[in-house]
Structure 1
Amino acid sequence: MPNIIAIKRYLREDLRYPAGRQDVVGSCAYAGDLSGEDCEWLKENLPDKLYYSAEDVLKAISW
């Protein structure tokens, strides 16, 4: 199970938008709060599209 709090913080505070799936997954490894498992979970579950906000990403992963 991914660290939901850490992923939400990463999406809201660390990522710049608009961002594609590659951007979200690619910069995940540089986020200090996220584990390799969190990044792998995002890679496996995040649809390939362009996101305009953290809320767009959270909706896409059903959070």
Structure 2
Amino acid sequence: MPDRVSRCCRILVQDYTTTAEGRAMFGMLAVLAEYQRELILANTTDGLAAARAHGRRRAPAETDR
């Protein structure tokens, strides 16, 4: 099954990048992925700052007993 999925994805990507519309769609998806990454980074940074403001720290690493 994974082989069929990867083959299908390769065909779709190849078809998308050979036409102007496909390249535009691929570019828009790349922009949205980058935007999502920036949102995750900003939310993580804000969450860590809020935790520090409330005196919370990261939990210590667990050790094998």
Scaled to the shorter chain, the TM-score interval is under 0.3
- Identify, as 1 or 2, the structure richer in helix: 2
Q: Which has the higher contact order (CA 8 A, sep 6+)?
A: 1
Q: What TM-score do you get using the length of structure 1 for normalisation?
A: 0.24
Provide TM-score, normalisation by structure 2: 0.23
Larger Rg: 2
